[in-house]
Structure formats: C-alpha cells, structure tokens
Amino acid sequence: MAVEDIGAQRVGNGNPGIGKQQADAGRCLECHGADGNSIDAKTPNHAGQYAAYLAKQLSDFQSGARKHEIMTIMAEDLSAADKADIGAYFASRKIMQGEGGDVNQSGRNLFANGDRSRDIPACSGCHGENGKGGIAGDVVYPVIGGQRKVYLRSQLVSWNLGERKNSPGGVMNTIAKSLSDEEIEALADYVSGL
C-alpha cells in the first residue's frame, strides 16, 4: 500500500480543517493538546490516531458502550460528520511517538510474541510491529505505540476488570483477563516508548 493511501485511510472522509475548528470550539484541544499530544498522563494522545477509531470511541461514549463522565458529556451533541471531522483533524497530526529509553524486555516479548501457552496473541499482530495501528476490513486497530503509559495501564486494567467492553468481539477483555498486574505494567512501559 502506498504511503498516500495509508494517510488517506488514517484521515478517512472527514475534513481536518473543519475538525480543527470543531476540536477547538468543543474544547477537545484543552485536554488532548493542539497537536494531539496531551500534557496530562491520564489523558490519551490522539496525534496520528485513525479517524475511524476516534469516531467509534465518540459514538461509544454517546451510546454508553464506553463510559467516562466527561467524555460522555463532550460527545453527546456530536453528529456523525462532527465525529469524522474531529477524528480527521487528530489523524492528520504527526503520529505520536514514545521517548524510547530503556526497553522493558518482558513487555517487548509479550508485545512481539504473546504467550501461546496462555492463548495470548502478540499485540503486534493487530497493532502493528511498532504499535502504529492498522485497518483490516472494517476493524480499526488503534495506534498504541507512543501512547501515555498511565493511560495504557488504565485501559488494560479496565479491560481486565470488565469495566471497558467496547473492543471488537470483546477481544481486549479476553486478552487482558489473562495478563498479570506485572505484565500489564511491562506492556504499558514498553508500548509507551515506541
């Protein structure tokens, strides 16, 4: 696939220019950053995230499939076009990058290889070798490489506990239930550095 096709697929059919205006007016940029990189460890980066993934999350906040007190309020009045445009804006930003540093070998091994003895697939199988996501059919695998460590940990814990249930077919719940606290920490550490 050509680089232009990947970029077009990442941005989708929304208008990034309109999306920037809406993200600013809707106060998205206050938490998620003007360039899509948040300054709060608990708030996810959206820089370079797939627009379709962001639009789905906003829809899930609207429907109650995903729960977050603030995001439910922020998303409640957004139309499908609004979600596509806001997603396109964040998708058009430079893809989030981790800071690298010391590599957590346990996290790296789980990310790259999974654990067949426990039916844990490699994270890279869906999220890509560098955690930069992808699209397969109608499923969007989000960018997780370079995401905030605290946010990654909190989401893995939420899937592990069944508090978050909006991944396709519940795949993230199944995987996260098999992870120990130490493995969740190792994965969050490794993936945040990508």
Tell me the per-residue pLDDT of 74-84, one tens digit each, with 9 for 90 and over: 999 999 999 99
**What is the reported pLDDT for 99?**
85
**What is the reported pLDDT for 55?**
98
**What is the reported pLDDT for 6?**
60
Q: How far, CA to CA in Å, does 181 sit from each of 28, 176, 178?
A: 31, 10, 10
What does the pLDDT look like over 9-19, one tens digit per residue? 899 999 999 99
**What is the reported pLDDT for 5?**
55
Across all residues in the chain, what is the average pLDDT?
94
**Mean pLDDT of all residues in 39-55:** 97
Percentage of residues of the chain with pLDDT beyond 70: 97
Q: How confident is the model at residue 57 (pLDDT cuts 50, 70, 90)?
A: very high
**Mean pLDDT of all residues in 128-141:** 93
Backbone dihedral angles phi then psi of residue 43, each to the nearest 5 degrees: -105, 130
Structure tokens at 37: 């990189």
Contact 154, 42 (CB under 8 A): yes
**What is the reported pLDDT for 101?**
77
**What is the reported pLDDT for 100?**
83
What distance in Å separates the CA atoms of residue 47 and residue 80, rounded to the nearest whole number? 20
- Sorted by where each starts, the structural domains of the chain and their CATH numbers stand as 3-91 (1.10.760.10), 105-192 (1.10.760.10)
What distance in Å separates the CA atoms of residue 166 and residue 60, rounded to the nearest whole number? 7
Per-residue pLDDT for 4 more than 80? no
CB atoms within 10 A of CB 125: 13
What does the pLDDT look like over 137-193, one tens digit per residue? 889 999 999 999 999 999 999 999 999 999 999 999 999 999 999 999 999 999 999
Percentage of residues of the chain with pLDDT beyond 90: 91
